[in-house]
Structure 1
Amino acid sequence: MPFDKLKPRVTTILANDRETAEQRMTEVCELLQTSIGYYDWVGFYFANEAERTLHLKAFAGEPTDHTVIPFGKGICGQVAESNKNFVVADVKAQTNYIACSIYVKAEIVIPLFKDGKNIGQIDIDSHTADPFSEEDERFLEWVNEQVAAIL
């Protein structure tokens, strides 16, 4: 499904204030994971600054053992420190990669900012090699802006 068709659906999910923010983020994860063929796992991690760790709060796809990730470890941990998007076309080429599944071939992680501070990120794993484009980056930045507004 094209990103422009997903935006109103994301907006509707996030506007439902009868649900918790975590429930709404889970629904966004489920929407993205079921609507975009190469988004095989979608999750939101949030930072615990005191512990310098990321904690999984919402996801869609196979369960993961990686519910807590130290800053600096893996792609997510690197984004927690760099505050920059990280697109990995081939996870096997990354030396600081935490394998979640033998099927994952590519990953994209986009930081989530609230009031100018990196408070978390959206993480997407793909079983397709090199599927992510600049369009994915812009769309996921937009998703994170919408999520930040409900936090």
Structure 2
Amino acid sequence: MTFEQLKPQVKTITANSKKNVDERLLAICALLEKNVDHYNWVGFYFRNGDKEELKLGPYVGAPTDHTIIPFGKGICGQVAVSNQNFMVPDVAVQDNYIACSITVKSEIVIPIFVNGENIGQIDIDSNTLDPFTEADEQFLEFVCAEVSSLF
């Protein structure tokens, strides 16, 4: 399924007020993981209150021990500080990488903004080396913009 075909489905999920926010976020994770071949782990991390750390939210994929990530640590923690998209073609060459699984080869993290504030991010791991393109980045920015409407 193409990103353009997925966009209306993402909109339908975020608009479904019969489900709570976590249920909608989990549905987005499941949709992306199922329909994008190189998305092997899809999850959300959010700022943990006033703390300088991220807390794991809904996700689909292998279980992770990384339920709390300090700002600045790992790819997600770096995005929490930089407020910038971060595409990692090969996690093996990243000094500040937190390994979730030995099968993960690449990662992309896109921040979620509400009223100009970075409240969290979508994190995608891939078991494929260097699969992410500008199209992934643009699509995930769309997803994050949709998700921001839930907050």
After the TM superposition, which residues 55-94 of structure 1 pair with which residues of structure 2 at under 5 Å, given as runs?
A: 55-94=55-94
Which amino acid letter does the alignment assign opposite residue 124 of structure 2?
I
Greater Cα shift, 50-59 or 93-102: 50-59
The CA deviation at 1:91 is 0.1
User: Normalised by the size of structure 2, how large is the TM-score?
Assistant: 0.98
The CA deviation at 1:49 is 5.3
SS of 1:87's equivalent in the other structure is: strand
1:30 matched to 2:11: no
Give the gaps of 5 or more residues in structure 1.
none
Q: Provide the residue aligned with 1:120 in structure 2.
A: 120
Aligned alpha-carbon RMSD (Å): 0.7
The CA deviation at 1:50 is 2.3
Q: Give the paired residue count.
A: 151
Which amino acid letter does the alignment assign opposite residue 58 of structure 2?
A
Q: Distance in 1 between matches of 2:141 and 2:89?
A: 18
User: Normalised by the size of structure 1, how large is the TM-score?
Assistant: 0.98
SS of 2:103's equivalent in the other structure is: coil
After the TM superposition, which residues 37-56 of structure 1 pair with which residues of structure 2 at under 5 Å, given as runs?
A: 37-48=37-48, 50-56=50-56
The CA deviation at 1:150 is 1.4
Q: Distance in 1 between matches of 2:150 and 2:91?
A: 32
Q: Percent identity?
A: 58
Q: Distance in 2 between matches of 1:28 and 1:66?
A: 20
CA deviation profile, 1:94-148 (whole Å, cap 9, x unmatched): 0000000000000000000001100000000000000000010000000000000
Which amino acid letter does the alignment assign opposite residue 94 of structure 2?
Q
Which amino acid letter does the alignment assign opposite residue 92 of structure 1?
A
Give the gaps of 5 or more residues in structure 2.
none
CA deviation profile, 1:25-57 (whole Å, cap 9, x unmatched): 000000000100000000010012522010111
1:103 matched to 2:99: no
Q: Tell me which stretches of 4 or more aligned residues in structure 1 moved more than 2 Å.
A: none
